[in-house]
Chain A
Amino acid sequence: MAQEELNQAVSGEYALGFEIDIEQDTVPPGLDEGVIAFISQKKDEPQWMLDLRLKAFAKWQQMEEPHWGHLDYTPIDYQSISYFSAPKQAPESLEEVDPKILEAYSKLGIPLEEQKQLQGIAVDAVVDSVSVKTTFSKELEAKGIIFCSISEAIRDYPELIQKYMFSVVPMTDNYFAALNSAVFTDGTFVYIPPNTRCPMELSTYFRINALNTGQFERTLIVADKGSYVSYNEGCSAPTRDDNQLHAAVVELIAMDDAEIKYSTIQNWYPGDENGKGGIYNFVTKRGICETNAKISWTQVETGSAITWKYPSCILKGDNSVGEFYSVAVTTLAQQADTGTKMIHLGKNTTSTIISKGISAMKGQNTYRGLVKIGAHAEGARNYSECDSLLIGDQCEAHTFPYLESKDPHGQVEHEATTSKISDEQLFYLRQRGIGEEDAVSMIVHGFCKDVFTQLPMEYAVEAKALLELTLEGSVG
């Protein structure tokens, strides 16, 4: 089949590339202690938080940007980025949220107005550096559930923040985590009390809007003993010629018998087919499981020019369970180096890794995963499955599975396949009267099925639609 036609079918237009026309407060580009103090002051933070930020900043300055990823990009100039940008009007209530922001979120399919709010989904909406609206907070409060922006949490729940922030991802964990620790602006905090099942999906929607601004959000979820929560994040950004940096940190704490299900639909602006523009996405996500706890990461990564991301689980407690389900799509000139780390420390801990990489056009897709079985992790088991699907012949897929086992009886299974959307598969569907693009999306959906079934239903529908849009035009 002709390559040009194939490319046409996988270079879908980025539909969320619009800009919200609002007045913004943005600090001039550059990073020093003064900027950090400014951010802290803007957020009305207590002194202890500023001290932690400055400590992280000092450490970060001594660290070096890592380059072990299978990624190729122009160096990031950290002094050319603006580290704080916020819509000028700081809303006290929904009535005060700039109508343009409400409109923008509606365009993204996330109505924030009371009467239109999505049934059963509470949303925290973040534009650039600040949270503009959190829905259903009151209803959740009645159950003792805290769902608010991280800035509010630092002010209102200092004891929880001091106890848990940096406890899973230490501030010096890696270069980007250290940067985030110094300059993080907003993000979401969730606390679920013991033996409580969160009655609705919690969701944060991040929007980068301002020019030349970095997005550094921080999310902290604490599920107390025997509790359950399902949390989802989505994101998008305007189409711009410059690269923008997104360096987030997510920490999950699942106490005894608790379960956290964390789903991501990542749709940052991917740049164009020549690699111009797009988000640099350097993210650290990690969770810790106590006894009988479970953390499940599901991610659908379709956006960003560069993705560097390894949602991980520390299976500390006996019988704890870690799961990682991932679909990563790279088309145009996108590059993704993504995977997971499963650290088995407790006895009878189990982990499952299902990774599906799809590459089209000049996309570069790398799976990098580590399964580590500690000396005391008797009865630990892991199952990994990494499949790659290639569309066309200019793209690449790589798999780097690492295994470290200190327990000779640890059970680790790894399967990897690479397949091409074959002309024969496409032809078969077309011979039955199914148009080419529908045929490609059918094959791709089939390939991703094991991951999509892990997503909450509304998000599975969104993920399918997004995948279709992303690959639209890449086949033909």
Chain B
Amino acid sequence: MSILEIKNIKATIGEKNILKGLNLSLEKGKVHAIMGPNGAGKSTLSKTIVGHYDVEVTEGDILLRGKSILGMEPEERALEGIFLSFQHPVEIPGVSNAYFLRTAVNAKRVHEGKEELNAAEFLREMKQTAQELGMKPEMISRSLNEGFSGGEKKRNEILQMQMLQPDVILLDEIDSGLDIDALRAVSEGINAMKDGERTFLVITHYSRILDYIEPDYIHVLKDGQIVHTGGPELVAQLEDEGYESIGAAG
């Protein structure tokens, strides 16, 4: 069963056509990986799904659980369960990590008709989750991403993902800038979220991360289209032969 369906999407950033009739169906509970060379449109694809203002969709549709999300604000898409782990998480000075995340978690709870968590309940949960990800306790009260190292920022993305419990998780270059320990911690954090219900879209230039997060499907993105879809065995082929080897759109 597909949870997210991308139908013939054409999208531009500024004057540039980036996505040129892209089709992709994400199967519920599965791990999908998008691989492709630089400039193929990988980051634009994730931006399009979450409704980033830079992107203008000129044709096509995106359906979440059968319903179009193109008319939704970014926050509505988030509340509906789409989460993006950013390639470069921004720094927001003066806003504590805990305050930010509690606001986000409670926005989602309210959206789902649940009661808001009070500060104590929330902090207990956040502390435990952060500890499991190997984050220093002070990361909780520090300003959001401010002065965080590359690894700390990525762990913080995973922390947010675990606390928000999204249904569709987009991971944009989650492994970039990570040393081996951070990569392991981040991967474990992601794997812990796999429950056969959640769906993952791992966007990556390198295959390294796929050794840790085993994908069910590999999609090759080239020049704004998915040109090939296969199983995990495709990773090895791409590694040996490069993106050039993958044939025409189809």
A→B interface (CB under 8 Å)? 1, 422-425, 427-436, 438, 442-443, 445-450
Beyond the given A428-B89, A431-B84, please list 15 additional residue pairs across the A-B interface where CB-CB is below 8 A: A423-B53, A425-B90, A430-B73, A430-B75, A432-B104, A432-B160, A433-B75, A433-B107, A433-B164, A436-B75, A438-B103, A445-B95, A446-B92, A446-B93, A447-B94
Mark out the residues of chain B between 4 and 62 whose CB falls within 8 Å of any chain A CB in the assembled complex.
Answer: 50, 52-54
30 A-B contacts, Cβ less than 8 Å apart? A1-B53, A427-B52, A427-B53, A428-B86, A428-B89, A429-B100, A431-B83, A431-B84, A431-B86, A432-B78, A432-B100, A432-B164, A433-B79, A433-B111, A434-B100, A434-B104, A434-B107, A436-B73, A442-B92, A442-B99, A442-B103, A443-B92, A443-B95, A445-B94, A446-B92, A446-B94, A446-B95, A446-B144, A447-B94, A448-B94
Is B199 interfacial (CB-CB < 8 Å)? no
Cβ of A450: which chain B residues have Cβ within 8 Å of it? Answer: 94
Is B150 interfacial (CB-CB < 8 Å)? no
In the bound assembly, the distance between CA atoms of A432 and B78 in angstroms comes to: 6
Is B219 interfacial (CB-CB < 8 Å)? no
In the bound assembly, the distance between CA atoms of A429 and B108 in angstroms comes to: 13
Question: Contacts A427-B52, A428-B86 given: A435-B75 contact, CB under 8 Å?
Answer: yes
In the A-B complex, the 5 residue pairs with the closest CB atoms: A446-B94, A446-B95, A449-B94, A433-B78, A432-B104
Cβ of B54: which chain A residues have Cβ within 8 Å of it? Answer: 423
Query: CB-nearest residue of chain A relative to B77?
Result: A431
- Count, chain B residues at interface, CB 8 A: 30
Query: CB-nearest residue of chain A relative to B82?
Result: A431
Query: CB-nearest residue of chain B relative to A387?
Result: B93
Query: CB-nearest residue of chain B relative to A452?
Result: B94
- Interface core residue of B73, B75, B103, B160 (most chain A CB under 10 Å): B75
Mark out the residues of chain B between 95 and 153 whose CB falls within 8 Å of any chain A CB in the assembled complex.
Answer: 95, 99-101, 103-104, 107-108, 111, 143-144
Is B232 interfacial (CB-CB < 8 Å)? no
In the bound assembly, the distance between CA atoms of A442 and B94 in angstroms comes to: 9
Question: Contacts A434-B103, A435-B107, A442-B100 given: A428-B75 contact, CB under 8 Å?
Answer: no
Min CB distance, B129 to chain A, in Å?
Answer: 15
Min CB distance, A427 to chain B, in Å?
Answer: 6
Cβ of A448: which chain B residues have Cβ within 8 Å of it? Answer: 94
Min CB distance, B45 to chain A, in Å?
Answer: 15
B93 touches A447 (CB 8 A): yes
A428 touches B108 (CB 8 A): no
In the bound assembly, the distance between CA atoms of A431 and B92 in angstroms comes to: 14
Is B74 interfacial (CB-CB < 8 Å)? yes
Query: CB-nearest residue of chain B relative to A423?
Result: B53
Query: CB-nearest residue of chain B relative to A419?
Result: B93
